[in-house]
Amino acid sequence: MIKYFAKLGLNSKVIETTHVGDNNAPTEKAGIEYLHKHTNYPFWVQTFKDRSQRKHYASKGYTYDEDRDAFLPPQPYPSWTLNEDTCSWEPPVANPLKTHTPLFDSGAYYIWNEGTGSWELNS
């Protein structure tokens, strides 16, 4: 089995992710010690592709929030707020595709306009 780890930089930003075989990482602590020894870099946190722990699989640019014990994706817009249950960013107005009939195969989609604080149809 393979375990995945996020390398953390300044302000707990994810720099990269890597994997370690289960024989070298039977526990998170052992995996961190293995990576520290082999990379000479001390700041690692285990991440889970199935999102069973820490809310999201870590990706470059995400932040590890120690208080929430979760990886947070980058905030897409200043007006969006963090959902404390999912640790995902949510717009102040729901995306119309989530509340209305999908646009089927038209290729159209909605994009967020931070200036107007609304969704705009991009067709």
In eight-state DSSP terms, residue 114 is T
Instruction: Tell me the DSSP string of 9-68.
Output: -GGGBEEEEEEEETTT-SSHHHHHHHHHHHHS---EEEE-TT-SSSSS---TT-EEETTT
Beta bridge partners of 51: none
pLDDT at position 60, please? Answer: 98
pLDDT block averages, 10 residues each, the chain of length 123: 97 98 97 98 98 98 98 98 97 81 66 94 78
pLDDT at position 99, please? Answer: 60
Q: What are the domain boundaries of the chain?
A: 2-74
Residues 6+ apart with CB under 8 A from 83: 89, 90
Residues 6+ apart with CB under 8 A from 86: 55
pLDDT at position 105, please? Answer: 59
Phi, psi values for residue 70, rounded to 5°: -145, 155
